[in-house]
Structure 1
Amino acid sequence: FRDHCKLEPLPDGRAILSHDQVEAARMRHAGYKVCVWAAEDGSFEANPPALPEFLHRDSRWLAGNLQYWHLLRLPGFTAMGRWQLVQAMLLFAGAPLYAATLLLAALSAATGGGDATPRSALLALTIAWPLAIYLPKLLGFFHVLARGRVRYGGFWRYAAGMLAETAFTLLLDAIATIHKTLALGALLLGAHTGWDAQNRADRGVGWAEATRMFWPHTLIGLVAFAGFAASSWAMVLWAMPWAAGLVLAIPFCVVTANPGLSGWLQTHQIAAVPEELNQ
Structure 2
Amino acid sequence: MTTNFRDLPILSPALPPETGMEMPVQDLSTPAQRRKAQAMAQAFWRRCLVLGGATGLTGFAAYQMYAVVRLGGVTIIEGAILGLFCLLFAWIAVSFTSGIAGFISMLAQGGLGLGIAADGKLPRLRGRTALLMPTYNEDPERVMAGLQAIYEQIEVVGAIEHFDIFILSDTTNPELFDSEETAFLTLRDRTNGSERIFYRRREKNIERKAGNIADWVRRWGGAYPQMLILDADSLMSGESIVHLAAAMERNPGVGLIQTLPMVVNGTSLFARLQQFAGKTYGPLIAHGIAWWHGSEGNYWGHNAIIRTEAFAQQCGLPHLKGRKPFGGHILSHDFVEAALLRRGGWRVHMVPALDGSYEESPPSLWDLAIRDRRWCQGNLQHAGLLTARGLHWVSRIHFLNGIGSYLAAPLWLLFLLLGVVAAFQAGFVRPDYFPKGLALFPTWPQQDPIRALWLFIGTLCVLLTPKLLAFVVLLVQGERRRGAGGAFRAFLSLILETLLSALLAPVTMINQTGDVISILLGQDSGWKPQTRDGGGVLFRWVARRYALHTVLGMVLAAASYAISTPFALWMAPVTAGLVLAIPLAWFTASSALGVALQRWGILAIPEERRPVDVLVRAATLRAHPRIAGRKLIEG
TM-score (norm: length of structure 2): 0.42
Separation of aligned partners in 1, 2:427 and 2:456: 16
After TM superposition, the structure 1 = structure 2 runs for residues 32-51 of structure 1, keeping only pairs within 5 Å, are 32-39=346-353, 41-51=355-365
Residue of structure 2 equivalent to 1:168: 500
The structure 2 residue matched to 1:253, chosen from 585, 594, 603, is 585
- Following superposition, the deviation at residue 43 of structure 1 comes to 2.8
Deviation at 1:116, TM superposition (A): 2.0
Query: Counterpart of 1:153?
Result: 485
User: Is 162-171 or 35-44 further displaced after alignment?
Assistant: 35-44
Q: What is the CA-CA distance between 1:193 and the residue it aligns to?
A: 0.9
Residues 40 and 105 (structure 1), Cα distance of their counterparts in 2 relative to 1, 3 Å cut: farther
Q: Deviations over 1:163-198 (max 9, x none)?
A: 121112011111111111111111111111133210
Match of 1:16 in 2: 330
* 176 and 28 in structure 1: CA distance in 2 versus 1, 3 angstrom threshold: same
Query: 1:66 Cα deviation (Å)?
Result: 0.4
- CA contact under 8 A between 1:109 and 1:231: conserved in structure 2? yes
Specify the alignment match of 1:136 in structure 2: 466
Q: How far is 1:35 from its partner?
A: 4.2
Asked if the contact 1:171–1:242 (Cα under 8 Å) also holds between the matched residues in 2, the reply is: yes
Distance 2:604 2:337 in 1: 31
More helix by share: 1
Residues 1:66 and 2:380 aligned together: yes
**RCO comparison, higher one (Cα < 8 Å, 6+):** 1
Q: 1 CA distance for matches of 2:374 and 2:427?
A: 38
Shift of 1:11: 2.6
Q: Tell whether 2:518 aligns with 1:186.
A: yes
- Cα distance between partner residues in 2 of 1:108 and 1:16: 41
Distance 2:462 2:373 in 1: 24
CA distance in 2, matches of 1:40, 1:254: 36
- Residue of structure 1 equivalent to 2:565: 233
Alpha-carbon separation, structure 1, partners of 2:492 and 2:385: 44
Deviation of the 1:24 alpha carbon: 2.1
Contact 1:50 1:257 in 2 (8 A): yes
1:103-142 deviation per Cα after TM superposition (whole angstroms, max 9, x unaligned) = 2222333332696222244124312332333322222222
- For 1:94 and 1:39, the matched residues in 2 are separated by 29
In structure 2, the residue corresponding to 1:112 is in which secondary structure? helix
Post-superposition shift, 1:73?
Answer: 2.6
CA contact 1:203–1:258 (8 Å) conserved in 2:
yes
Matched residue of 1:67: which SS? helix
Secondary structure, aligned partner of 1:91: helix
**Map of 1:100 onto structure 2:** 414
Q: Tell me, what secondary structure is at the counterpart of 2:379? A: helix
Aligned length: 279
2:441 equivalent to 1:127: no
Q: Provide the C-alpha distance between the structure 2 equivalents of 1:247 and 1:196, rounded to a whole number of angstroms.
A: 29
Matches of 1:32 and 1:128 in 2, distance apart?
41
More deviation, 105-114/200-209: 105-114
Which of 272, 276, 279 does residue 608 from structure 2 map onto? Answer: 276
Contact 1:269/1:277, CA 8 A, preserved across alignment: no
Task: Decide which moves more: 222-231 or 91-100.
Answer: 222-231
Find the counterpart in structure 2 of residue 223 from structure 1.
555
Per-residue CA distance 1:223-242 (angstroms, 9 max, x = gap) = 22122212322222222222
- Which structure 2 segments of 5+ residues have no match? 1-309, 429-444, 612-635
Distance in 2 separating the partners of 1:35 and 1:222: 47
Q: Which moved more, 1:209-218 or 1:29-38?
A: 29-38
1:34 is paired with a residue whose SS is strand
**What is the TM-score when the length of structure 1 is the normalising length?**
0.91
SS for the counterpart of 2:359 is coil
What is the aligned partner in structure 2 of residue 118 from structure 1? 448
Q: CA deviation at 1:31?
A: 2.4
CA offset digits 1:75-100 (Å, max 9, x no partner):
24122211221121011012111011
Distance 1:40 1:198, change over 3 A: farther
2:339 pairs with 1:7: no
Letter in 1 for 2:575: A
Equivalent residues of 1:17, 1:195 under 8 A apart: no
Deviations 1:1-38 (A, max 9, x none): 42222323223352222122222222222223334444
Q: What SS is found at the alignment partner of 2:533?
A: coil
Partners of 1:63 and 1:269 in 2: how far apart?
38
**Mapped contact 1:4–1:26 kept (Cα < 8 A):** yes
- Structure 1 segments, 4+ long, off by >3 Å, are 35-41
> Given residue 137 of structure 1, which amino acid in structure 2 is its aligned partner?
K
Q: Which has the larger displacement, 52-61 or 98-107?
A: 98-107
Question: Larger strand proportion, structure 1 or 2?
Answer: 2
SS of residue paired to 2:338: helix
One-letter amino acid of the structure 2 residue matched with residue 98 of structure 1: W
Deviations 1:54-75 (A, max 9, x none): 1111111111100101112322
Deviation at 1:273, TM superposition (A): 2.0
Give 2:485's aligned amino acid.
Answer: G
1:214-264 deviation digits (Å, cap 9, x = unpaired): 112112211221222123222222222222111100111111112211221
- After TM superposition, the structure 1 stretch with the greater mean CA deviation from structure 2, 94-103 or 17-26, is 17-26
**Residue 178 of structure 2 aligns with which residue?**
none
Structure 1: which 5+ runs fail to align? Answer: none
